[in-house]
Amino acid sequence: MLGICNGFQALIKLGLVPHGRITGQDADSPTLTFNTINRHVSKMVYTKVVSNLSPWLSKAECGATYVIPASHGEGRFVANDEWLKKLAANGQIATRYVDPDGNCSMDEEWNVNGSYLAIEGITSPDGRVFGKMGHAERIGDGVALNIYGQQDMRLFEAGVDYFR
């Protein structure tokens, strides 16, 4: 299952990420909340693939930076220290906001919503459920031609290959 932006919000509220099953949320659950700038953000962002756990990312290069559109008002990923450590240890942190040099950043120029640990996307423990904020689906001929950088994470190609 893949959830982008509002789809990610639904996956996390259901518990499908980070748990891999419907659990709902409790007070300690990771969640998505209002951007630190307290308004909608719409701009191109740099994201880095930091885990190849998910079949959705099997065609993306682990360690590569992709330039994709972000457009949301409630996209800031928040979690307590215990959850952040668990997600990192399990390889469930899939993508992170980075600067143009590929360095994770808490600077709002690059981490546009203030997500903890610059997290842009996470997976379920087995990687089959993937939620992310950036609109990696907004690609195609004639789209963002004036934007420098690699844009196609090949998510859907990877998904098709996985389900064949």
Spatial separation of the C-alpha atoms in residues 100 and 109, rounded to whole Å: 11
Residue among 61, 74, 137, 157 flagged as catalytic: 137
5 flagged as catalytic: yes
Residue among 61, 104, 135, 157 flagged as catalytic: 135
From 97, 153, 90, 89, select the one nearest 121 (Cα to Cα).
Answer: 97
Spatial separation of the C-alpha atoms in residues 4 and 70, rounded to whole Å: 10
- Residue 149: CB atoms within 10 A of its CB come to 12
Please list the active-site residues: 5, 135, 137
